[in-house]
Amino acid sequence: MKIAFLGAGNIAFALVSGLVEESGPDGLVAADPDPAQGVRFTAIGVDTTDDNRTAADTADIIVISVKPNIVYTVLAEIAPVVRDQLIISVAAGVPLGQLSAALPGTAAIVRCMPNTPALVQTGMTVLCPNGAVSSDARRAADRILGAVGSVLWVDDEAMMDAVTAVSGSGPAYFFLLMEAMIASGERLGLPADVSRTLVAQTALGAATMVSTGSDDPGVLRQRVTSPGGTTEAAINRFLQADYPALVDAALTAARDRSIELAGG
């Protein structure tokens, strides 16, 4: 099976690297008009080209991994050679209907919302298929996106704007909290490297407890929060500032912006 990646940016490289690690570089090709983008793909044994149309024509699966503002240019370029290939799009905010309208016939299309931890194989990708996607095509998409982390399918595309707000943009929210905690640790007298290490490992440990256990985050928080203790003092300050409402307002703003960008 041949898989063509149209666009050789970071997400494409993460996906290709995961696939190479899993089963080698055979059958993979990365297409990009900028030769410099192909250097790192060549270094791991993957074929490269500057011709999207040729790459798409010879592929069984086409992964659209360009920026949203040039998706339609790329789709117009490959439309004459699209037959029964599975189309996987990781272009943020581009709906299935618009992808389908730019291609001939009834193309099988999977719209994906990955996030940046995919770059270190710990991503969360949500996939949404159109009606032409078969069970075999789902398994193929699972394999490709699963190469960089966890995958989750939704059949209601209306959920994708909320997905964007929660997991697509989500890493930045945690980075912001980590930035603030590191800076606060320094103000409290910790060396910068010590504060960074403490915050990073604490975030990793907390996420691991949630992802590998059955308890809700609220239950885990309560277990750490002893009455009258240091954690309770900090949590009370968060709650006094109505932290949950602030988070809800922030995610709602992200969801609304996703709808706007998609032309909804």
Total domains in the fold of the chain: 2
Where is the domain boundary, 158, 192, 214? Answer: 158
Q: Output the CA angle 256-203-121, nearest 5 degrees.
A: 75
Same domain for 102 and 137?
yes
Residue-number span of the structural domain to which 248 is assigned? 168-261
Residue 251 belongs to a domain: yes
> Is residue 163 situated within a structural domain?
no
Nearest CA among 162, 151, 148 for reference residue 116:
148
pLDDT of residue 120: 93
Are 234 and 133 contained in the same domain?
no
Query: What was the pLDDT predicted at 264?
Result: 53
Could you tell me if 14 and 119 lie in one domain? yes
Query: In whole angstroms, how far apart are CA 57 and each of 1, 2, 83, 124?
Result: 13, 10, 8, 30
Letter for the amino acid at 72? Y
Quick one: pLDDT at residue 68?
A: 87
Q: What is the CATH number of the domain that holds 44?
A: 3.40.50.720
Within a domain: 187:
yes
Q: Are residues 132 and 221 in the same domain?
A: no
How many angstroms separate the CA atoms of 105 and 216, rounded? 45
Shared-domain flag, residues 229 and 209: yes
**203 and 93, same structural domain?**
no
Do 118 and 182 lie in one domain? The reply is no
pLDDT in tens, the chain (264 residues): 899 999 999 999 999 999 999 889 999 999 999 989 999 999 999 999 999 999 999 999 999 999 888 999 999 999 999 999 999 999 888 999 999 999 988 899 999 999 999 999 999 999 999 999 999 999 999 999 999 999 999 999 999 999 999 999 999 999 999 999 999 999 999 999 999 999 999 999 999 999 999 999 999 999 999 999 999 999 999 999 999 999 999 999 999 999 888 775
Residue 120 in contact with residue 148, Cβ under 8 Å? no
Task: Concatenate the DSSP letters of all residues of 44-108 into one string.
Answer: TT-EEES-HHHHHHT-SEEEE-S-GGGHHHHHHHHGGG-SS-EEEE--TT--HHHHHHTSSSS-E
- CB count within 10 Å of CB 198 equals 14
Residue 85, φ and ψ in degrees, nearest 5: -70, 150
Query: CA-CA distance, 244 to 29, in Å (whole number)?
Result: 45
180 in the same domain as 131: no
Residue in the structure block whose two tokens are 């011709």: 51
Residues 25, 123 within the same domain: yes
Phi, psi of 263 (to 5 degrees): 80, 20
Contact between residue 41 and residue 48 where contact means Cβ atoms under 8 Å apart: yes
